[in-house]
Amino acid sequence: MKRNRNSKIVATLGPVSHEPKVIESLFLAGVDIFRLNFSHANHEEHMSRFQTIRKIESKYNYPIGIMADLQGPKIRVGKFKDHKITLKENQKFSFLLDEQLGNEHSVNLPHPEIFKSIKSGSTILLNDGKLKLKTLNVEKSKIETVVLVGGELSDHKGVNLPDIHLATSSLTKKDEIDLNFAINLGIEIIALSFVQSPQDVILARKFIKNSNIQIISKIEKPLAVKHIEEITNLSDGLMIARGDLGVELQPEKVPMTQKKIINCAKKMGKPTIVATQMLESMIESPTATRAEVTDVSNAIFEGSDAVMLSAESAAGKFPVEAVQMMSKIIDETEKNTIYKKNITNAEFQIKTKVDNSISYAACQTSKKINNSIIAVLTASGSIAKYISHNRPSSTIIALTPNMSVARGLNLFWGITTILNDSIKDIFDASKTLSEIILDKKLGKKGDILIIVSGLSSSIKEETNNLHIIEVGNPKSYA
């Protein structure tokens, strides 16, 4: 089963998309990775969705990736006596560490790390950035501010601190519990929320331990952008989470920041996911706006590996239609000759290791041969990822004996993953791959197949061999 596109679709499951029939419909509409959002739902609900995905995977014999998105240290105010207040411009307002019901003068802020880190002059944003305050004075258990932009503030609204590096880990106690749960389930991809520094990724890596699990760092704070190269180097991929990022950054800076993050990831050969408000109008409408269509297309044009649906597929009225729309936008963008020229001319860092050099040679060879297919035999998936990062014009097939690897590769541009643990040597691989290509309609008889492998069987050996055959021609296998 091959998608007629290279860029991938991540879709969030939620209240409107938890039934098995809906999840199956989302998969058939084009979802490559399902996202379980641990900011919502309980473990029992996530387990049910996980089991449904695995049943669909078995039914269609097609590896499906699952991402566990951790909540992270989301900061919220406490409760108000009358549940909400209205802040007016130039009024004084305080945040208190002491737990008490709020009023028009103050509210509880149950986050001691903020009181240790914040300074006079710092900006405090409330309710997704709708309200803006400036810190005047900081005491041990009290932060005095003045309101710059007023508005309504109610119980448990979010707090954003764009100027502050909090003395806290991006992994909360809740995250550690959720992470253990996700690891025990067998989830392949972890999205780490509110990453501030390289140390956050290092801590998560130590906690996870399993090298097969991919860590996707969510870039949603300006401080993360300042450390983007170090964070990218330590991560398996990046998610540009434009919701909170758009709150803490000035809105006009978000587009160029998105390009900066994607370009950094491309240079280091790491995948990117562009997320948040991509087709937001489809929460209520069966069609997307022209601006949203352009936004998705631009993300693909910039070279992102995947685009993501959040509330559109989790809580919207038209979850399947949103996936179908996103797939159509990707298809149309990837047909464009300018996109093809832009994407195939991209050359990423060439490492000196033999296996990466062989992979690069395969990509260069494919450019000179019409109707070519690149197949890589891989146990870890690393060589397939490297080929994906080089964006060849050929179909990319990753044959692996490891189901976890097969599922994780679904995140990467252009890769079709196939589970197979019966390959004995390169000659057996030639015959098997030729049969798979014809059976699954990944190519046709006479196409040129470029196999990246070990000298005899790359499943277990260093990748050091390039083998070229003609699909459907047994004489070329030997």
pLDDT, the chain, mean: 91
CB-CB contact of 242 with 274 (8 Å): yes
Per the CB < 8 A criterion, the answer to whether 451 and 435 are in contact is: no
Lowest mean pLDDT among 89-93, 143-147, 200-204, 379-383: 379-383
Q: Per residue, what are the HEC states of the chain?
A: CCCCCCCEEEEEECCCCCCHHHHHHHHHHCCCEEEEECCCCCHHHHHHHHHHHHHHHHHHCCCCEEEEECCCCCCECCCECCCEEEECCCCEEEEECCCCCECCCEEECCCHHHHHHCCCCCEEEECCCCEEEEEEEECCCEEEEEEEECEEEECCCEEECCCCCCCCCCCCHHHHHHHHHHHHHCCCEEEECCCCCHHHHHHHHHHHCCCCCEEEEEECCHHHHHCHHHHHHHCCEEEEEHHHHHHHCCHHHHHHHHHHHHHHHHHHCCCEEEECCCCHHHHCCCCCCHHHHHHHHHHHHCCCCEEEECHHHHCCCCHHHHHHHHHHHHHHHHHCHHHHHHHHCCCCCCCCCHHHHHHHHHHHHHHCCCCEEEEEECCCCHHHHHHHHCCCCCEEEEEECCHHHHHHHHHCCCEEEEECCCCCCHHHHHHHHHHHHHHCCCCCCCCEEEEEECCCCCCCCCCCEEEEEECCCHHHCC
Closest of 369, 421, 419, 420 to residue 395, by C-alpha? 369
Cβ atoms within 10 Å of 425's Cβ, excluding its own? 14
Model confidence at 352: pLDDT above 80? no
CA 188 to chain centre: 12
**Look-up: residue for tokens 């954003």?**
160
pLDDT score, position 137 = 96
Instruction: Please report the pLDDT score of residue 353 as a whole number.
Output: 62
Mean pLDDT of 237-265: 92
- Give the tens place of pLDDT for each residue, 452-471: 986 455 455 566 788 899 99
CA geometry: angle 422, 58, 31, nearest 5 deg: 110
Give the tokens for residue 460: 């277990």
Q: Compute the distance between CA of residue 351 and CA of residue 217 in angstroms, rounded to an integer.
A: 23
* pLDDT confidence band for 104 (50 / 70 / 90): very high
**Hey, what amino acid is at 198?**
P
Share above pLDDT 70 across residues of the chain, in percent, rounded to a whole number: 94
Angle subtended by helix axes 319-335 and 290-301, to nearest 10: 50
CB 116 within 8 A of CB 138: no
pLDDT of res. 230:
97
Looking at residue 1, its pLDDT comes to 62
How far is residue 475 CA from its own chain's centroid? 43
* Residue 359 confidence (pLDDT): 82
Greater confidence (253 vs 428) lies with: 253
The partner residues of 307 in beta bridges, in order of sequence, read 9, 274
Higher pLDDT, 425 or 434: 434
Q: Is the pLDDT of residue 357 over 50?
A: yes
The predicted pLDDT at position 122 comes to 94
- In which band, very low, low, confident or very high, does the pLDDT at 340 lie, cut at 50, 70 and 90? confident
Mean pLDDT value across residues 156-173:
85
Q: Residue 95: pLDDT above 50?
A: yes
> Tokens 């297919």 appear where?
373
Pick from 270, 312, 246, 294: which is nearest to 413 by CA?
Answer: 270
Distance CA 25, CA 23 (A): 5
State residue 474's pLDDT score: 79
Among candidate residues 416, 419, 388, the one with its CA nearest the CA of residue 402: 419
Residue 7 is predicted with a pLDDT of 97
Read off the pLDDT band of 369 (50, 70, 90): confident
Q: What length does the chain have? A: 478
Least confident span in 202-216, 224-238, 344-358: 344-358
Structural domains in the chain? 8-72+170-336 (3.20.20.60), 84-160 (2.40.33.10), 354-476 (3.40.1380.20)
Give the pLDDT confidence score for residue 88 in this predicted structure. Answer: 96
Task: Quote the pTM value.
Answer: 0.90
Decide: 183 and 208 in contact? Cβ < 8 Å. yes
Mean pLDDT of 200-216: 89
CA–CA gap between residue 120 and residue 137 (Å, rounded): 5
pLDDT at 73: 86
Among candidate residues 102, 105, 147, 106, the one with its CA nearest the CA of residue 123: 147
pLDDT for res 212: 80
Using only the alpha carbons of the chain, give its radius of gyration: 24
Comparing 7-11, 98-102, 364-368, the range with the smallest average pLDDT is 364-368
Hey, what are 141's tokens? 């258990």
Cα dihedral 358, 403, 307, 236 sign: negative
